[in-house]
């Protein structure tokens, strides 16, 4: 009887061990990544687009055999558009032993959360554009779009040279993203001899823009530069139209984004400016069609950022031949990647030693509810 | 000298135009706040209910209209469907399933229940319709016209007229019709009204139904600016509550005054102080009124039953 029990015990232990080993080996075969994004709150429009773009890319990557024959397992975490929750979610992602973290998109959130991914030596891709995001000396942070200080010279050039504006109203949202953009554009405009006729701050989530627009009108400048998040941009454009504002409206990326165009309707027509990424550029057309088919909505620059980031991780792992965080980071730093070698990244791209990005960009104008590319600008640094 | 004087005159005229522009836009926004505030006061008077889900009650018809339009209905038809659904769900179901079972437990129980309802409705909408904002058309169009130097939008004029007609129509209904007077009698003293043969239950239902219509109209007018989003009710609910307190919680005309005051002062503070102070205006006004005239500007002191 005792021998029978012992045999049964040994057998049970063996089965458990085998199952454990099988589970462990299948676990090791996947590459875990986390999307820590604004899936609710004020940044939902941006965060959801980024999430969708990255999800589309990972689905494609998995369908074509994964990264170095390993499938990618994606976790999604909601920052509720709040920096403190973004930090907590990043810690949670690290506890899950992820290979890379995607997001947050809001500059204020990534500024806080990146200290955690840096401590854990985990590459962290972000859609944040504030200049100080890559100024923290973090070797694991990588942008998916331009640093504000790289996009703004192009916008300021456009206003000074193409629009021949002598004075400009600068309107910004009072958060890290907005303040960073405001500082950068004022510096660039001043350097080109363009006067800042009014410097107007708006609140995140501001609903009624009537007094803001009135102040802009009172400044009587040659053009208006607006740097707000998506929802606020749409409300601003509607109010500008409502109050009959007739000066050129210029933006950097967000103001001409597809979500803003969708929300603002005809009020977005005539808006122009510089975008680092636009689904309407010829090289993004195929991606844009796939995104629209999958999500029944148009991708904006954040959708491209997510898609690009996912494929950038794939390119870096394949280049480093390792999923170690330090090796991945080293593979990206001070390197260029060509779209013909890594088609998922969509456009040739170069990273500097801080994680800032350089690539071609575009001047666009919104016509009949669509972003129309009016010029393609070369990389800032010739390589 | 003459040119300086001319410039001063032009500046003065511009400033006056700006002021009038702000006033008009503030009154239009305030009139919309007033409708939601009016719902607050009606529910309080008739059923002793403070509905902290009033903001979400505005959000739901907005999504109902979006769903209607996604089925190809024009906005006006979607609005009619939304009003019908609103009366059914936010009027009858809310009264029968939440307020009536809670009423015996006192005001606090209803307040807590509506707070819970507010969170539940937001979560439900977020799960069903995503957390992204959705565009919403204006029933009056996006066009503008010029009048005496002012740029006026049809949507502002429409909102003002629509809200004005709703509020004045409601006042007339309450004061001039037998049903309206019966509803007022119930609001003043339920027991006496019942003794006089008034169907109290029906009158209370009418109040909930009127609130349901008011929130649907508010949704129609305010969503083009607020954008349809699961948390769009946070702001409107809060502003309407402040407006109701400022005007007087037990006076329907007070809600109108409170709403317009909040709308106009917000605009003026945003333009002449700083846009950053704009959202604080309602709160400052609210605190000032509570300190100086706790029953609200048009409210009357209420005796407490012991």
Determine contact: B18 vs chain A, CB below 8 A.
yes
**DSSP of B174-242, one letter per residue?**
HHHSHHHHHHHHHHH-HHHHHHTT--HHHHHHHHHHHHHHHHHHHHHHHHHHH-B-TTTHHHHHHHHHH
> What are the per-10-residue average pLDDT scores of chain B (306 residues)?
58 76 86 89 84 94 96 95 96 91 83 93 89 89 80 85 86 89 85 87 91 94 91 91 88 86 88 78 88 85 54
pTM flag (> 0.80): no
The reply to whether A44 falls in a domain is yes
> Are residues A230 and A92 part of one domain?
no
Q: Does A226 map to a domain?
A: yes
Together in a domain, A253 and A317? no
CATH code of the domain covering residue A64: 3.40.50.2300
Q: Cβ separation of A211 and B130 shorter than 8 Å? A: no
Same domain, A317 and A217: no
Are B131 and A40 in contact (CB < 8 Å)?
yes
* Residue A254, min C-alpha distance to chain B (Å): 15
Query: Do both A208 and A96 map to the same domain?
Result: no
pLDDT reported for residue A61: 96
* Closest partner CB to A210 (pick from B130, B226, B267): B267
Q: Do B135 and A214 touch (CB under 8 A)?
A: no
CA distance B276 to chain A (A): 6
**How many domains does chain A fold into?**
2
Confidence at residue A21, expressed as pLDDT on a 0 to 100 scale: 47
For residue B302, the distance in angstroms to the closest alpha carbon of chain A comes to 35
Is there a domain that residue A71 lies in? yes
In this structure, are A102 and A42 located in the same domain?
Answer: yes
Interface of A with B (CB under 8 A): 39-41, 44-45, 48, 174, 200-203, 206-208, 210-212, 214-215, 217-218, 230-231, 234-235, 238, 241-244, 259, 262-267
Task: With CB atoms and an 8 Å threshold, state whether A41 touches B131.
Answer: yes
Residue A113 DSSP label? H
Burial class of residue B104, CB neighbours in 10 A (0-12, 13-18, 19+): exposed
The nearest alpha carbon in chain A to B26 belongs to A210
Residue-wise DSSP of B5-32 = HHHHHHHHHHHHHHHHHHHHHHHHHHHH
Please name the residue of chain B whose CA is at the shortest distance from the CA of residue A48.
B132
| Domain of residue A269, residue span | 149-275+363-377
**Residue A13: its pLDDT value, please?**
63
Q: Are residues A262 and A286 in the same domain?
A: no
Residue B233's closest chain A neighbor by CA?
A: A207
Task: Give residue A27's pLDDT.
Answer: 47
Determine, yes or no, domain membership for A2.
no
Mean pLDDT by 10 residues, chain A (383 residues): 56 56 55 95 89 96 95 95 95 96 94 95 93 91 88 90 94 90 94 94 86 88 94 93 90 89 93 89 91 91 95 96 96 94 93 92 91 86 67
Contact A208 B155 (CB under 8 A): no
3-state percent breakdown (helix, strand, coil) of chain A, nearest 5: 50, 20, 30
Give the pLDDT score at B269: 87
What number is the ipTM of this complex? 0.80
What's CA A109's distance to the chain center, in Å? 12
């Amino acid at each position: 009887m005792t021998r029978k029990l012992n045999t049964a015990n040994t057998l049970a232990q063996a089965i458990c061990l085998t199952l454990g080993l099988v589970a462990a080996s299948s676990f090791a075969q996947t590459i875990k990544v986390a999307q820590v994004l604004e899936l609710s709150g004020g940044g939902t429009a941006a965060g959801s687009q980024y999430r969708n773009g990255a999800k589309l890319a990972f689905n494609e990557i998995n369908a074509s055999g994964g990264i170095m024959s390993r499938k990618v397992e994606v976790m999604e975490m909601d920052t509720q558009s709040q920096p403190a929750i973004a930090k907590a979610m990043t810690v949670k992602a690290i506890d899950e032993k992820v290979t890379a973290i995607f997001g947050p998109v809001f500059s204020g959130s990534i500024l806080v959360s990146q200290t955690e991914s840096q401590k854990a030596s985990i590459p962290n891709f972000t859609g944040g554009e504030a200049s100080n995001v890559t100024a923290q000396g973090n070797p694991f942070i990588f942008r998916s779009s331009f640093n504000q200080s790289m996009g703004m010279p192009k916008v300021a050039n456009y206003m000074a040279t193409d629009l021949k504006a002598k004075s400009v109203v600068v309107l910004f949202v009072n958060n890290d993203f907005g303040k960073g953009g405001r500082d950068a554009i004022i510096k660039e405009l001043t350097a080109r001899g363009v006067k800042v006729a009014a410097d107007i701050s708006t609140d995140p989530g501001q609903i009624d823009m009537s007094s803001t627009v009135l102040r802009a009108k009172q400044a009587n400048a040659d053009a208006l530069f607006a740097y707000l998040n998506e929802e606020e941009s749409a409300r601003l454009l509607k109010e500008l139209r409502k109050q009959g504002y007739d000066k050129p409206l210029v933006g950097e990326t967000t103001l001409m984004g597809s979500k803003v165009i969708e929300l603002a309707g005809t009020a977005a027509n005539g808006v122009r400016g510089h975008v680092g990424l636009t689904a309407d550029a010829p090289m993004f057309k195929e991606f844009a069609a796939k995104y629209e088919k999958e999500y029944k909505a148009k991708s904006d620059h954040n959708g491209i950022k997510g898609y690009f980031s996912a494929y950038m991780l794939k390119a870096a792992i394949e280049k480093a031949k390792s999923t170690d965080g330090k090796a991945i980071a080293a593979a990206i730093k001070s390197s260029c990647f060509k779209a013909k070698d890594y088609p998922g990244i969509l456009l040739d791209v170069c990273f500097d030693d801080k994680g800032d990005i350089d690539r071609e960009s575009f001047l666009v104008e919104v016509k009949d509810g669509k972003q129309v590319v009016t010029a393609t600008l070369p990389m800032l640094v010739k390589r | 000298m003459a040119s300086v004087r001319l410039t001063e005159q032009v500046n003065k005229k511009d400033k006056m135009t700006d002021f009038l522009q702000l006033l008009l836009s503030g009154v239009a926004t305030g009139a919309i706040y007033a409708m939601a505030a009016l719902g607050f006061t009606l529910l309080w008077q008739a059923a002793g209910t403070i509905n902290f889900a009033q903001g979400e009650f505005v959000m739901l018809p907005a999504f109902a209209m979006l769903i209607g339009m996604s089925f190809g209905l024009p906005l006006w038809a979607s609005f009619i469907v939304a009003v019908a659904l609103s009366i059914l769900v936010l009027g009858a179901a809310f009264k029968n399933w939440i307020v009536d079972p809670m009423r015996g437990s006192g005001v606090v129980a209803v307040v807590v229940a509506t707070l819970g309802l507010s969170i539940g409705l937001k979560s439900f909408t977020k799960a069903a319709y995503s957390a992204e904002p959705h565009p919403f058309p204006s029933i009056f169009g996006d066009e503008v016209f010029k009048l005496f130097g002012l740029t006026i939008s049809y949507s502002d004029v429409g909102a003002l007229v629509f809200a004005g007609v709703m509020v004045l129509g409601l006042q007339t209904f309450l004061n001039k019709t037998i049903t309206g007077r019966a509803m007022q009698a119930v609001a003043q003293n339920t027991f006496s009204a019942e003794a006089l043969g008034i169907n109290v239950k029906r009158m209370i239902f009418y109040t909930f139904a009127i609130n349901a219509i008011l929130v649907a109209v508010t949704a129609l007018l305010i969503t083009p600016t607020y954008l349809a989003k699961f948390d769009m009710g946070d702001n409107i609910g809060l502003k309407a509550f402040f407006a109701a307190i400022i005007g007087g919680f037990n006076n329907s005309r007070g809600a109108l005054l409170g709403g317009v005051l909040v709308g106009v002062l917000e605009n003026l503070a945003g333009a002449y102080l700083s846009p950053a102070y704009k959202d604080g205006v309602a709160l400052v006004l609210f605190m000032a009124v509570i300190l100086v005239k706790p029953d609200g500007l048009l409210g009357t002191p209420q005796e407490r039953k012991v």
